[in-house]
Amino acid sequence: MQNHPVRGILFLCLGVFVFSLQDAVIKQVSGAYPLTQVLTIRSLVAVPILLALVQMEVGWRALRSPDFGLLVGRAVLMFVAYMAYYLAFPALPLADAVALYFTVPLFVTALAGPLLGERAGWQVWLAVAVGFGGVLVMLQPGSGLFEPAALLSLVSAVMYACSMLMARRLGVAQAASVMAFYQNGVFLFSAAGLALALHLSGVVHAEHPSLRFLVRPWVQPDGWDFFLIASCGVVSAVGTMLLTSAYRVARAGVVTPFEYSGVLWAPLWGFLFFSEVPRMTTVAGALLIVGAGLVALRVARHD
């Protein structure tokens, strides 16, 4: 396996920043358009960009890969991860949704053993337990303030962690652009297929904002909204390449802590674009999650 830690860290920090912009855009349009429409437009825009990146990196013949099943399987995990992540946006402040998603490094640490053979000692598991204590602080179960959509962020974190560990395994033989192309293809066909299934079912309304974001009928976007949604295609192509490259060229335990660089952007975009001020429980829970994740990964690297 390749091991270029500085390059991997740079790729990951840039990818997290790029995707933070997409998060703000998708939250902005979540009140007017269905998620399946947003993902379909985004993926269509990304197709020619990713084809160009594949040609530049390894040539189009590389798309005929013997790892077809693994590439598609990883892409399906990513589709589930991003669907769950984005569906949380209409119901949660941006900082809350992203902070809960920061459990990704905890799941990466926990799963790196069984999936990659990277051993974790009792100190790591203690840190993981503390991190999930931070999750409970944020969720406040039983307080009457619990929002079920918060669980979507946790589902997203598990699926994303599994897919990134698969990227580490596939990175031995597969280029980042090829993995990104397969991921985008699965997003395109899955989003369009899900939209068709929902249309045929006749379900067009739901009470919960997350479900409304899923089942709302497609509508013709105005010029500005179409530009915003289409820009996500550029973001997803570039961001996916960067994040996939990060886990492909460096050890998961080295680059994963820098997923937390997103903690700088989510509250900023939430405040600037949506006038959201993070709650104290959000700040306290996020600090526990981030601190525990960093400790877990540090101990895991020295075991």
Q: Note the pLDDT tens digit of each residue in 283-298.
A: 787 777 777 767 765 6
* Contact of 191 with 76, CB cutoff 8 Å: no
pLDDT computed for residue 266 by the predictor: 83
Q: Domain locations in the chain?
A: 5-302
Give the confidence band of 141 by pLDDT, cuts at 50, 70, 90.
low
Is a pLDDT exceeding 70 seen at residue 142? no
Its sign, for the CA torsion 39, 45, 47, 52, is negative
For residue 107, pLDDT over 80 is answered with: no
State pLDDT tens for residues 253-276. 677 777 777 777 888 888 888 888
Contact between 167 and 246 (Cβ < 8 Å): no
**Contact (CB, 8 A) for 50 and 298:** no
Q: How many angstroms separate the CA atoms of 221 and 227, rounded?
A: 9
Q: What is the pLDDT of residue 143?
A: 47
Quick check: pTM over 0.85?
no
According to the model, what pLDDT value does residue 97 have? Answer: 83
Q: SS3 for 248?
A: helix
Residues ≥6 apart with Cβ < 8 Å to 103: 131, 132, 135, 154, 157, 289, 293
Q: Are 78 and 19 in contact (CB under 8 A)?
A: no
